[in-house]
Chains A and B, each alone.
Chain A
């Protein structure tokens, strides 16, 4: 039975061939530690990592490739921002659709004296930018929000919120782009984003173990690094460098991973985001239309509008637990998906599916219409059982 991978929101699979080719090429021909030694292979390794920064900077319209910190995942990027910038008595605003990579650090910081306001979203996952505006107070240091929910796919109004915050002047705007970097246009200048946390191994088609953080020029002064150590720069000093990106990149990097990430991002740029988005939107629309026929037996969450969500669909089949449904889909149809709370209990509380969770299908660029039809058939088969 052919496997149908519908868990792209967790990690994209398969990857473009160029990704693994770049990783193998690096390991076989170069293999050195970038930025540490002065020899040719070390410089070649450094060049690969630098070019990955450049490719990403182009995708996000960053003013400078060195504004891109490369991390092991989006969670690390978010931790750098939240733990590095927020102090006791600072006020931070977030939405009620956030992933635990935002909520867990925030709840911890709250126990240390940071004030946290969670702005309620609608049961479909929608955020009203005016609610963010109303929550702003003199002590507000930052607004952190997801660009799109990993549970419902709902795209949140980042542009509107960015405009509100930029007008206020001295508040940081951090966006969790784990679900959207590479999938939706991400112009940090246009969207007025100060800090962008992104995943390398989802819509950027890099391997796991990669991610990053864009930091607007000057803001690194107010954000402490998570880790300190050797950076290959200012080696005669025992103080951590204060410039980008070295400040946040201590120790040997995941060079092979970043070689892969660079190739993945280059593949994406070649296909164009528009083309990828169009296909994912079409697959989402097709599946949502198929689900329409099962309206009485299947609850679909979110906006149920392919144009206003990522290729993520959460649903529940009447009287069947999400994990039972997922097991059925895999055993009978070879469909791989994710049931449960998706590391986002806040989102499930918001849409009313806590604590049982939902079944989540997430389509990707390498899925086909046939995959969608088979997925719909699987749902029908589960209902009929």
Chain B
């Protein structure tokens, strides 16, 4: 279960972008996991990347410039 107190999710345009992001974030040694998009969120694609809430800004910086579109939502 995604714990709203400790996690955020990164939403993507497509699975290709999600997979790309997973690779990039993993190389920075940030723990992450591809999961189905939580029911209450809408997304262009069915998977999102769950990250620790505390890593939100770091992930944003890492992904900016590598991916055309994404959105990070704290739960």
Measured between C-beta atoms, what is the minimum distance from A305 to chain B in Å?
42
How many chain B residues sit at the interface, stated as a range, is 20 to 34
Docked Cα-Cα span, A243 to B13, in Å, equals 9
Measured between C-beta atoms, what is the minimum distance from A235 to chain B in Å?
8
Q: Which one, B13, B18, B23, contacts A234 given CB within 8 A?
A: B13
Measured between C-beta atoms, what is the minimum distance from A47 to chain B in Å?
6
Known: A66-B16, A232-B14, A233-B45. A38 touches B35 (CB 8 A): yes
Residue pair A43, B14 in contact (C-beta under 8 Å): no
Measured between C-beta atoms, what is the minimum distance from A65 to chain B in Å?
7
Interface residues of B in 1-41 (CB under 8 A from A): 13-20, 23, 34-37
Known: A38-B47, A50-B20. A231 touches B14 (CB 8 A): yes
Q: Counting CB contacts under 8 A, is B42 at the interface? A: yes
Docked Cα-Cα span, A47 to B68, in Å, equals 19
Docked Cα-Cα span, A39 to B47, in Å, equals 9
- Least CB separation from A245: chain B residue: B16
Residue pair B46, A50 in contact (C-beta under 8 Å): no
Residue pair A233, B20 in contact (C-beta under 8 Å): no
Fill in one digit per residue for A234-245: 1 if any B CB lies within 8 Å of its CB, else 0.
111000010111
Q: Counting CB contacts under 8 A, is B44 at the interface? A: yes
Measured between C-beta atoms, what is the minimum distance from A107 to chain B in Å?
34
* Count of interface residues, chain A, beta-carbon cutoff 8 Å: 25
**Which residues of chain B are near A233, meaning CB under 8 Å?**
13-15, 44-45
**Which residues of chain A are near B14, meaning CB under 8 Å?**
35, 231-234, 241, 243, 246
Fill in one digit per residue for B47-61: 1 if any A CB lies within 8 Å of its CB, else 0.
100000000000000
Q: Counting CB contacts under 8 A, is A37 at the interface? A: yes
Residue pair A35, B36 in contact (C-beta under 8 Å): no
Among A46, A53, A65, A231, the most chain B Cβ lie within 10 Å of the Cβ of A46
Q: Which one, B17, B35, B42, B45, contacts A66 given CB within 8 A?
A: B17
- Least CB separation from B19: chain A residue: A50
Residue pair B16, A234 in contact (C-beta under 8 Å): no
Using a CB–CB cutoff of 8 Å, the interface residues on chain B facing chain A are 13-20, 23, 34-37, 42, 44-47, 68-69
Which 10 A-B pairs give the minimum distances between C-beta atoms? A38-B36, A35-B15, A233-B14, A50-B19, A233-B45, A38-B46, A234-B44, A43-B34, A46-B15, A66-B16
